[in-house]
Amino acid sequence: MKNIFSFFGKNTKSDDSRIDNPNQNKEANNSFVYGVEDVFKLRDSNDLVVVGYVHGIMKPGMAVYVSNIGDDEGSIFLTEIISMESFGKMVTTATNKPIGIRLKNGSTGNIKIGSVIHSRDASTKEVHDAYVFAIDATYIKSKSLSLTEDEFNKMSITDCAEAWNLYNEHIRSSIDGSAEKDLQIYRNKIDVLAKHLISKILDSEEIYTIINKKTGEPHLFSNTVKQNNGGYMCTPPDIMIVSKAYSKVYEQTYPRELFEIRAISNGENKDGIYNFLGSSFYLNGACGVAINSQRTAINANMIVPEPDYSNIPEIQIPISNPDLVRWLLLMGQIGAPQSEDAQLIYNLYYRFMSLALPKAKFLVPMKNDGNLSPGDNGEIILEKDTKLSFPTSKGKNSKDCVPLFTDWKRLRMVYDVEWNAMIQPLSGFINTFDCSINPTEFTAAGCYITKETYDQMEEFASQQ
């Protein structure tokens, strides 16, 4: 679980488009939305009784729509209000108040907490607000997030993320003067919610993520904060997961020329999402994942444990440099800074990159004209007279440049399986060659290092 007391960004946007026909004639007093806060099945009947709060005016006999906008496969179906009850009495109208209603054949639809019953002319924003209102009224205000296993099981990824956001708001409003034991209760409840959310994400058919088109990788969300001592710190970068229910909204929110909302399929083996997250964490250096909002962030190792190579010979440990790649990606997202703030943030990322780069081990593409054989400890043995060749190109000032890669994923983006690789730190080449780090088609995600640049980085690292 991330720090639940600090958060950034706004709630998911909703447009004001109309459901069905926006030009349909309507009477103002027939417009309403109603978020379901509880559901009661009836014996020997397909009708259903629900409890909630009506915003607007509602009457028996109305034909109404039911939307499950929080579900990945949310649908809209039509039903009818048979009767309404308020505090034990049947009523013929209800305006802006709690009300119980009986829905014709309601049990044949997937009506649950968070379902929204609404008139034909209700806007998307009004329906979404009623959905959030119902989640807040039931899971936060009524139950204070103390939910049963069955209640958690009925919640969607979107339901969980919205409940988390709302509970954060509840914590913020009541945090002053709270005893440590009360704060621990808050944290424990969020931990339980986070574990259920993780399970739902890993079991999902597909989730969506925000791809930065400059880097070709999931966008890293980090915030830079000025400290009291005048320095700056950046929050650990997260990637964003978007539930299918909100994916269309995010497509409208993020400019298509800069971002792609990409589906991540779990596949037949149900490991696609797990592998995607593992790659984002332990190759790209993301420190966690936010779900639908930066306010719902879960640490990486709670979702995908860090690989354990303690019993593997060093030569067999896969090469990865997440502590370097995260800064390369963050710098690549900025590109050429266009403002003082962007320049400040870019410089901060560059300093962290300068600390990580001299310590990194890279894959250097190579070909050989002889046989290579494995040794007893996993090392590679070269036969006598075997020749190795490395790809080079003309770099800056006509100096030869050699490509280096932070991991096999990036190397294979450029060199096919006919190429092997040797492992070297940057110092193994920089005295003779300039070095191009991760020179893939996404040039913003890499960097170019000269001997002068490398010496400056080493000097900076030695002073820290």
pTM (two decimals): 0.85
- Per-residue model confidence (pLDDT) at position 398: 83
For residues 296 and 332, state if they share a domain: no
Residue 135 lies in a domain: no
Q: In terms of domains, do 428 and 342 share one?
A: yes
Domain boundary among 242, 274, 303: 303
**Contact predicate 339/331, CB 8 Å:** no
Residue 174 sits in the same domain as residue 250: yes
- Identify whether 324 is part of a domain: yes
Whole-angstrom distance, CA of residue 40 vs CA of residue 112:
10
364 and 344 both lie in a single domain: yes
Among 270, 303, 336, the domain boundary falls at 303
pLDDT in the model for residue 6: 26
With respect to residue 129, please indicate whether it lies within any of the assigned structural domains. no
Q: Are residues 275 and 202 in the same domain?
A: yes
Give the CA angle between residues 194, 199, 205 to the nearest 5°: 130
CATH code, domain with 90: 2.40.30.10
In the chain, which residues have pLDDT < 70? 1-29, 175-179, 369-387
Number of domains in the chain: 3
pLDDT at 289: 97
* Residues forming beta bridges with residue 118, ordered by sequence position: 33, 65
Same domain as 318, residue 299: no
Residues 214 and 324 in one domain: no
pLDDT digits (tens, 9 = 90+) for 381-413: 555 555 677 888 888 888 899 999 999 999 999
Kind and range of the H or E element at 182? helix 180-203
Beta bridge partners of 417: none
- Whether 409 is covered by a domain: the verdict is yes
* 107 assigned to some structural domain: yes
pLDDT in tens, 102-146: 999 999 888 999 999 999 999 999 999 999 999 999 999 999 999
Vertex 327: Cα angle to 274 and 279 (nearest 5): 15
Exposure letters 419-441 (e unless 16+ CB within 10 A, then b):
bbbeeeebebbbeebbbbbbbbe
Specify whether the CB–CB gap between 167 and 189 falls below 8 A.
yes
Are residues 294 and 351 located together in one domain of the fold?
no
Burial class (CB in 10 A: 0-12, 13-18, 19+), 460: middle
Q: For residues 347 and 426, state if they share a domain.
A: yes
- The confidence score (pLDDT) of residue 170 equals 86
Find the domain containing 453 and state its range: 314-463
